[in-house]
Amino acid sequence: MNQGAIPSGYTSLNGELAIAGHTASHWVAIAEDTPLFLYDRRLIDQRIAELRAALPSEVELHYAIKANPLPELVNHIAAQVDGLDVASAGELELALASGMTPDCISFAGPAKRDRELRAAVQAGVTVNIESEGEFTRLAAIGKELDIPPVAAVRVNPPFDVKASGMKMGGGAKPFGIDAARVPALLACFDDAGVRFDGFHIFAGSQNLSADALIEVQARALELASDLALLAPCPPRIVNIGGGFGIPYFMNDKPLDLHAVGAALGMALAERSAVLRAARIVIELGRYIVGEAGVYLTRVVDRKQSHGETFILVDGGLHHQLAASGNFGTVIRRNYPIANASRFDKAPEEVVTVSGCLCTPIDRLGDKVSLPRTEVGDLIAVFMAGAYGRSASPTSFLGHPPPCEMLV
């Protein structure tokens, strides 16, 4: 096999792939068309329960909406987590509409516009400051509205994360404020009339190494406690990031969540006095929703070219850019993929599954093993719950957007 392993929790029913207790064709009949994304709420709930069981009980769990902003899904998750992280005014609206209380919402992200900062101050959410300039604009907006803004400092840590799929800290970065520049900023809060809320240290995404995550969490706590001594008051929140990865590709091993939780428990027990009262937050997107999503697309054509078999489907990278290998990966590798119409059949042929766009990079599976696949069959691409539709160029070529259902 040349593709990733199908995540646990998927079985067959009447020969087809079962999703949330029904066949793939049942869901397609309800959606009345392909392609579609299905998100299984039981798998999301199960994942949250696993996190709660493995992480120290005092750790707060936040959901990073950008992983999957489907409103119904955000509402479903909001009821089970301690906070939401947003990265735009649009996501802020979703978070507020979910009923999450504003002091459990944080707004990170570079290049926040004045109108976004204004919306955040008016709502009373925590703004994670990404630069000195943003701090100055936030302070001015607070004065103009006569509402003291609440801000945490996003720190660009002086370390990066080993084994991380997407590095977001260490070295020159558009995210956060270099640790060496943070003390000078902390000294400005009181005069600027900005309420200091804490620190945000997010160093990278898609990490499957427990050892690397344990190290980065310990270093984030150390950095937060050093900086806290220079802050106008002890931090109310220390967000130590997340970055927990999921096994997309062949030979990827699932993260050892229990090792991460146990080590974090020890690190928290030993944390310095200045962090004693702080709420410790872990923010996760992909890990909560990634494995709970399936993308279903129908086979439109099958053809031979230079001895290779191509399976041509009605979906593609305009819905699932990440599975085509063009979102944050250097080397293209295959996501787990299956013939959902013949899920109980053994692999019989090696085929390339191509999407419907006129570009050679539109491949959902490159030389993958599938049972004999016919026109009309449904192909399932797994690990489609995070960074799927919302992280794809949906208007490219003018095909209709995919249907999405929380089931």
Ligand X SMILES: *Cc1c(COP(=O)(O)O)cnc(C)c1O
Q: In the complex, which residues of this chain contact ligand X (CB under 6 A)?
A: 64, 66-67, 85, 108, 202, 205-206, 242-243, 283-287, 386
- Residue 261 CB, shortest distance to ligand X, in Å, is 16
- Residue 291 CB, shortest distance to ligand X, in Å, is 12
Between 36 and 86, whose beta carbon lies closer to ligand X? 86
Between 86 and 267, whose beta carbon lies closer to ligand X? 86
Q: Is the sign of the CA dihedral 120, 124, 128, 130 positive or negative?
A: positive
Between 65 and 185, whose beta carbon lies closer to ligand X? 65
- Residue 164 CB, shortest distance to ligand X, in Å, is 9
CA 119-78-256 angle, 5° bins: 120
Contacts within 8 Å (CB) and 24+ apart, 186-191: 186/153, 186/227, 186/230, 186/231, 186/232, 187/230, 188/135, 189/151, 189/231, 189/232, 190/232
CA 99-105-106 angle, 5° bins: 160
- Distance set, CA 313 to CA 3, 226, 363 (Å): 18, 54, 10
Q: Residue 205 is inside which H or E element, if any? A: strand 204-207
Between 219 and 286, whose beta carbon lies closer to ligand X? 286
Between 142 and 169, whose beta carbon lies closer to ligand X? 169
- Residue 289 CB, shortest distance to ligand X, in Å, is 8
Q: Which residue is nearest to ligand X (CB)?
A: 285
Between 51 and 296, whose beta carbon lies closer to ligand X? 51
- Residue 64 CB, shortest distance to ligand X, in Å, is 4
Tell me how far apart the alpha carbons of residues 335 and 170 are, in angstroms, rounded to a whole number. Answer: 29
- Residue 245 CB, shortest distance to ligand X, in Å, is 7
- Residue 207 CB, shortest distance to ligand X, in Å, is 8
- Residue 50 CB, shortest distance to ligand X, in Å, is 15
Between 18 and 288, whose beta carbon lies closer to ligand X? 288
Alpha helices in 40-163 (DSSP H): 41-54, 71-78, 89-97, 114-123, 132-145
Strand ranges, E, within 208-358: 237-242, 279-284, 293-305, 308-313, 337-339, 349-354
- Residue 130 CB, shortest distance to ligand X, in Å, is 10
Between 106 and 225, whose beta carbon lies closer to ligand X? 106
The residue count for the chain: 407
Secondary structure of residue 358 in the 3-state scheme: coil
Using DSSP bridges, classify how beta strands 11-13 and 16-19 pair: parallel, antiparallel or unpaired.
antiparallel
In this structure, are residues 32 and 398 in contact, taking their beta carbons and an 8 Å threshold? no
Amino acid at 126: T
In this structure, are residues 107 and 128 in contact, taking their beta carbons and an 8 Å threshold? yes
Phi, psi (rounded to 5 degrees) for 20: 50, 40
Between 100 and 299, whose beta carbon lies closer to ligand X? 100
